Amino acid sequence: MTAAPPVPPPVPLSRNRDYRLLWGGQALSEFGFHSALIAFPLLVLALTGSGAASGLVMGTIAAAQMVAGLPAGVLVDRYDRKAIMLGCEAAQAVSAISLVAAVWAGAATVWHMVAVAAVFGASAALFEPAESASLPALVADEHLPTAVAMNTARASMGQLAGTATGGFLFAVGRFVPFLVDAVTHTLSFVVLLFVRLPRRERPTGGAGPLGREALAGLRWVWRERRIRVTVVCAVVLNLFFSAYYLVVIVLAESRGVPSGEVGVMAAMLGVGGVLGALVAPVLHRRLGAYGGIIAVFWALAVLAPVTVLMDSGYLIGVLFALIALFPPTANTAIMTEQLLRTPDELRGRLTSTLVLACGAASAAGPALGGSLAQALPGDRALLLCSAGMAAAAVLATLSPTLRTLSRRHESGRPATAG
């Protein structure tokens, strides 16, 4: 009986052509998206002078993402994921070009911008689960943590660079940020055409109503204990950090911190996020899934109350950078565990559920922080946020479910959808 030939080692990410193409195309796309995002309120204010109209346009992006979230997961699981990603890039490019033409001709209206914002939000809601669900098909299991971390770094860099550049581009010309957005989405579309994504088998049992399939995905996420606990961890982290961030801004304003230093604080948060994403693969290998998740809880619990002692926006910015180092490691641990434990036919709904839940937490966090800052002195509001983080850290540390996260299925494959 002849021995089976040895299985060749998986291709490393540095030589994984398809992953590099997808990553590079999305780096362009996210830069353009954030350049346009920061220019949207500037354009509305320049044309109408109305803060309410500006809020309507910006709120439409978030609302479209929320409304399209769960149906997007079903569509990603039902149809060809590459085709969905291509459609999202094309839709954003065409809508941005339409806005460029309208601004150039002096015919831009608020409702046109609302329509473009809705396309942007719905496209983001579709693209993110399609890309995340495709990752296990593009990279080997052992390279998935690094791929997730690199995607996080890409998003942080795109947000930093796009936000910093968008205002300058708007100063050059009101239509310029949207022209850059159209060009970057077009380039990303072309690059995506050359990504070879393995063909998936069509889900068995036929396609049911979107609502029923979306609920089936939610029920599966809730039934799977490890998946459910990691989703709860992500929601709690987003809720507490969003509340803490707003309380710190209010506290800094009350102490007379100049607006320029407040801007530095926000920028340092982004810098810490980028650095954290770059070191996340190393920390994930050393700490494991359980260690990576509880590390971010304890970093927030220990570092957040230190803000009470600081009156300098620069020092708070350094603290923000330190806090931001750990969330990418937790994100890497959570996403890797979830993708490997979820059947392929449910990965789109998994990601859309996580995005929707975290988006709701990120929206509720500032409301919570604002209520605390209104009801209590700044120092007490911040300490109360810190106490909540400490309680969450203790519960995460003691969780028997989180301790089991590093255990893989014996077969090396995720559980079935049954």
pTM, two decimal places = 0.78
Residue 418, pLDDT score: 36
Q: Which residue in the block uniquely carries the two structure tokens 């600081």?
A: 310
CA pair distance 17, 217, nearest whole angstrom = 32
Residue 20, pLDDT score: 92
Closest CA to 195 of 34, 109, 85: 85
Residue 7, pLDDT score: 45
End-to-end CA distance of the chain: 37
Most distant CA pair in the chain: distance in Å? 81
Give the list of residues 6+ apart from residue 332 with CB closer than 8 angstroms, or none. 145, 148, 149, 152, 280, 281, 284, 292
pLDDT tens, residue by residue, 380-409: 888 888 888 888 889 888 888 888 875 443
Query: Which band of pLDDT confidence, cut at 50, 70 and 90, is reported for residue 411?
Result: very low
Does 144 have pLDDT greater than 70? yes
CA pair distance 230, 244, nearest whole angstrom = 21
Share of the chain above pLDDT 70, in %: 92
pLDDT tens, residue by residue, 292-328: 888 888 888 888 888 888 777 788 888 888 888 888 8
Q: Burial-class residue 4 by CB neighbours within 10 Å (0-12, 13-18, 19+).
A: exposed
Please, are residues 393 and 322 in contact by the beta-carbon 8 Å criterion? no
Does 362 have pLDDT greater than 80? no
Judge if 15-196 and 219-403 fold alike in CATH terms. yes
Residue 91, pLDDT score: 95
Residue 207, pLDDT score: 60
CA atoms within 13 A on the CB side of 120: 30
Does 101 have pLDDT greater than 90? yes
Measured CA distances, 406 to 127, 236, 326 (Å): 28, 21, 18
Query: Which band of pLDDT confidence, cut at 50, 70 and 90, is reported for residue 205?
Result: low
Give the list of residues 6+ apart from residue 95 with CB closer than 8 angstroms, or none. 115, 116, 119, 120
Please, are residues 107 and 334 in contact by the beta-carbon 8 Å criterion? no
CA pair distance 145, 334, nearest whole angstrom = 10
Q: Does domain 219-403 have CATH number 1.20.1250.20?
A: yes
Closest CA to 137 of 349, 339, 288: 339
Residue 204, pLDDT score: 57
**What's the average model confidence in pLDDT over 187-204?**
82
Give the list of residues 6+ apart from residue 307 with CB closer than 8 angstroms, or none. 248, 251, 316, 319, 382
Residue 1, pLDDT score: 45
Question: How many CB atoms lie under 10 A from the CB of residue 212?
Answer: 10
Q: Burial-class residue 398 by CB neighbours within 10 Å (0-12, 13-18, 19+).
A: exposed
Does 410 have pLDDT greater than 80? no
pLDDT tens, residue by residue, 266-279: 778 778 888 888 88
Residue 259, pLDDT score: 67
Residue 201, pLDDT score: 67
Please, are residues 270 and 394 in contact by the beta-carbon 8 Å criterion? no
**Domain range list for the chain:** 15-196, 219-403
For residue 404, give the 3-state DSSP assignment: coil
Closest CA to 295 of 341, 338, 337, 328: 328
Measured CA distances, 6 to 2, 3, 15 (Å): 12, 9, 21
Q: Compute the C-alpha angle 235/240/245, nearest 5°.
A: 125
Give the list of residues 6+ apart from residue 109 with CB closer than 8 angstroms, or none. 102
For residue 4, give the 3-state DSSP assignment: coil
Closest CA to 155 of 5, 274, 301: 274
CA pair distance 212, 405, nearest whole angstrom = 30
**What's the average model confidence in pLDDT over 15-24?**
90
Task: Look over the chain and give the mean of its residue pLDDT values, rounded to a whole number.
Answer: 81
Which residue has better confidence, 186 or 209?
186
Residue 208, pLDDT score: 64
CA pair distance 164, 273, nearest whole angstrom = 16
Does 154 have pLDDT greater than 50? yes
CA pair distance 339, 230, nearest whole angstrom = 12
Does 73 have pLDDT greater than 60? yes
**What's the average model confidence in pLDDT over 205-210?**
62
Which residue has better confidence, 20 or 344?
20
- Which CATH code for domain 15-196? 1.20.1250.20
Residue 190, pLDDT score: 95
Least trusted range by pLDDT, from 5-9, 93-97, 168-172: 5-9
pLDDT tens, residue by residue, 214-269: 787 778 878 888 888 888 888 888 788 878 877 887 777 777 777 677 777 777 87
